Amino acid sequence: MDIIEKNKKEMLQKKIWAVVGATPDTEKFGYKIYKKLKNHNYTVYAVNPKYKEIEGDKVYDSLKNLPGKPDCVDMVVGPQISKQVLEEIKSLEISYVWFQPGTFDEEVIDKAEDYGLNIVYYDCVLVALDE
């Protein structure tokens, strides 16, 4: 089993997630992933400074303002924002980060690896939860 598969398996066993880029727009992946995790009985925090709530759930403006520390952060934002959020992830000592397709570039992955994070990329949480 390669490291990405190992990380993926470990992450899916973690029960507290934050979705960075969560959105109330039901057409967007930020919404679909947030809902899918909730429907699979994960504790999920929505993180997006643009919104106040998603279907009555509070949306937080940053990871540092969450009521609890997530085990995993799922990125559903562009690479530039992912890169900024990595700083916060490092300072909060969160170990697991899942980059949805389109949320990273080489620089983001290099930075995550430099920080010693356990990462998954080129894989979608929506698909993984159906496996």
Tens-digit pLDDT string for the chain (131 aa): 689 899 999 999 999 999 999 999 999 999 999 999 999 999 999 999 999 999 999 999 999 999 999 999 999 999 999 999 999 999 999 999 999 999 999 999 999 999 999 999 988 899 999 87
The reported pLDDT for the residue numbered 131 is 74
The reported pLDDT for the residue numbered 130 is 84
Residue by residue, DSSP assigns 13-81 as: H--EEEEET--S-TTSHHHHHHHHHHHTT-EEEEE-TT-SEETTEEEESSGGGSSS--SEEEE-S-HHH
The reported pLDDT for the residue numbered 122 is 86
Structural domain spans, the chain: 3-128
What's the CATH number for 3-128?
Answer: 3.40.50.720
pTM: 0.96
